[in-house]
Amino acid sequence: MKIRLETHRCVGAGQCVWVAPQVFDQSEQDGTVRLRVERPAAELHDFVREAARVCPARVIHIEEENTE
């Protein structure tokens, strides 16, 4: 899994940080989303998917990678 963000569209709601704090953070300057990890460990994938689902601005995009 690889994560891509559209930070310029972020509204700073913080839902992603609440759901997956190991992966997402917020800028102290404007509250917009920041990545802690671009390719999270497998055990965090469900949390990342949930964070993308609950994002009100839909700025979190996930690229599923083939791990075979």
pLDDT tens digits, one per residue of 13-67 = 999 999 999 999 999 999 999 999 999 999 999 999 999 999 999 999 999 987 6
Question: How far apart are alpha carbons 23 and 44 in whole angstroms?
Answer: 8
Question: How far apart are alpha carbons 25 and 21 in whole angstroms?
Answer: 6
What is the reported pLDDT for 67?
Answer: 61
What is the reported pLDDT for 59?
Answer: 98
pLDDT band at 68 (very low <50, low <70, confident <90, very high): low
Domains of the chain listed by start with CATH number: 2-63 (3.30.70.20)
